[in-house]
Amino acid sequence: MEKSKVLDSLGIQDVNFGATTGGSNGWIQTKGKELVSTSPIDGQPIARVIMADRRAYDSVMEKATAAFASFRMMPAPKRGEIIREIADVLREKKEALGTLVAMEAGKIKAEGLGEVQEMIDIADFAVGLSRQLYGLTMHSERPMHRMYEQWHPLGIVGVITAFNFPVAVWSWNALVAGVCGDAVLFKPSSKTPLTAVAIQNIIAPVVDKYGIEGIFNLVIGSREDVGEPMLHDKRIPLISATGSTAMGKHVGEVVGGRLGRTLLELGGNNAIIVTEDADMDMAIRATLFGAVGTAGQRCTSTRRIIVHSSVKEKFVNALVNAYKQVKIGNPLDESTLMGPLIDGRAVSDMENALAAVQEQGGKILYGGGTLTLEGLEDGFYVKPAIVEAENQYPVVQEETFAPILYIIEYDTYDQALAFHNNVPQGLSSAVFTSSVHYQETFLSHMGSDCGIANVNIGTSGAEIGGAFGGEKETGGGRESGSDAWKIYMRRQTNTINWGRDLPLAQGIEFNISGE
């Protein structure tokens, strides 16, 4: 699809307002600063957004607070019907929205379309979930008493997202929170504001049909006008934030200071262990996608390969050959496998990391450096790098959001596991092996310390059915599938005495004679 057709299809104008309470009439004529969305493909502007000011933020919050009061009374299956219709309109706009993701975030179109499919999948999951918000019944220790727990809507959920998954992460939070009966306040990355505007335009007919303005809200704005007010706002009981560990620490400190909840999806430093008996072809293909996909700008991107010394040379030679076949270029071209980095700062971060690893003793085996492509001279293109390094190098301990892959050699499996876990982050992990012993050890309490641990599958590309998230400096939160819905609700334990006596728990007696 041509750029103009994509923008027209999604209701994107040359100038867009950055705040809405949802629906076709919910847009607020904001008076904040102008934000230009620039495509990393060619460095050219796509469209502009007038960001929300503090007045617009307060207006949206007032509407969201009122909307939640009525939305929580709607039966959950009815809320599920709304999410089902959102899935339908996403299906209709999949091609256009997936293309816009590629244009604005720089990921290849296949990944952009895959991200929209992820939105559709999580919507389908949420529809089923709307009839499965189960509590438990428990046996009371007191006679003629019944105990159970139930789950109630929580309130307004603040969702702060990163540029690399500009639409999918919104859906993980907003659509699950929606069936749970919550309102959502969405603050997208300032690097990808147009995809957020497009989401609101896509779901507007559903919002109008069901009269739920104020449930799916958007506020695009600065840290001062929107970000910090969200963190300090006691009307928002949960902040779900995706981004760097440094950002997450600030979010956790501020929200924790008011005893609010946080769901943090932060940095990853994901590794694949390649054992001496691994299927090399599978390991190479998984590494290639994990390290090069989205130009290494996924939180689940493969950043370290911990490979057995006996197969290291064979593995590296095959990997270098595979890297040479990766076509780098315009992500809208179907033959492209790797698009640009998001901006010039990302390019500088990669260059600085490569300089640092060499200073610390590492050796670049392949790649590195920038690329100037014909017709895309102002884009942010780099060669993915393969670097021989030691796990303890300071730069290896950090997450560099770029396609740098560190090769780390090991001799014993215990050594491999020690290398694997000896980083501050704990998101995704994998082992490629034919050994049941290695496999089961990796998945046991003695193995990977990450929130996601895979066998003969790469670190990137999680399915929506499982809970997504990590440990340590990755934040400890869980989103998407399994029972991740519980973070968006409040648990209540109920006890009913249907007898005529008043026994106390633990056998305590507290009698009054009455004389």
pLDDT in tens, 145-184: 999 999 999 999 999 999 999 999 999 999 999 999 999 9
In this predicted structure, what is the pLDDT of residue 1?
73
Residue 509 DSSP symbol: -
| Sheet bearing 34-38, strands edge to edge | 15-17, 45-50, 34-38
- State the average pLDDT for the chain: 97
The correct answer on CATH 3.40.309.10 for the domain covering 270-463 is yes
Specify whether the CB–CB gap between 342 and 43 falls below 8 A.
no
pLDDT in tens, 221-273: 999 999 999 999 999 999 999 999 999 999 999 999 999 999 999 999 999 99
Specify whether the CB–CB gap between 267 and 244 falls below 8 A.
yes
Three-state DSSP class for residue 261: strand
**Torsion sign across C-alpha atoms 330, 7, 172, 473:** positive
pLDDT in tens, 178-214: 999 999 999 999 999 999 999 999 999 999 999 999 9
Positions annotated as catalytic residues are 265, 299
pLDDT beyond 70 at 312: yes
In this predicted structure, what is the pLDDT of residue 31?
87
pLDDT in tens, 354-395: 999 999 999 999 999 999 999 999 999 999 999 999 999 999
**Residue 385, token pair as written in the block:** 């790098």
Specify whether the CB–CB gap between 364 and 379 falls below 8 A.
no
pLDDT beyond 70 at 40: yes
pLDDT beyond 90 at 292: yes
pLDDT beyond 80 at 293: yes
In this predicted structure, what is the pLDDT of residue 515?
52
Range 414-427 average pLDDT: 98
pLDDT beyond 60 at 121: yes
pLDDT range class, residue 514, cuts 50, 70, 90? low
pLDDT in tens, 428-449: 999 999 999 999 999 999 999 9
Contacts of 249 (CB under 8 A, 6+ apart): none
Q: Are strands 370-371 and 381-382 parallel, antiparallel or unpaired?
A: antiparallel
Which amino acid does the sequence have at 240? S
Q: Rounded to whole angstroms, how far apart are CA atoms 300 and 270? A: 6
pLDDT in tens, 93-114: 999 999 999 999 999 999 999 9
**Ramachandran angles phi, psi of 99, nearest 5°:** -70, -40
pLDDT beyond 60 at 12: yes
For 361, left (φ over 0), alpha (ψ -120 to 50), or beta? left
Domain boundaries, the chain: 3-266+475-492, 270-463
The correct answer on CATH 3.40.605.10 for the domain covering 3-266+475-492 is yes
pLDDT range class, residue 462, cuts 50, 70, 90? confident
pLDDT beyond 80 at 513: no
Query: Which value, to the nearest 10 degrees, does the dihedral of the CA atoms of residues 76, 78, 80, 85 take?
Result: -160
> pTM value?
0.96
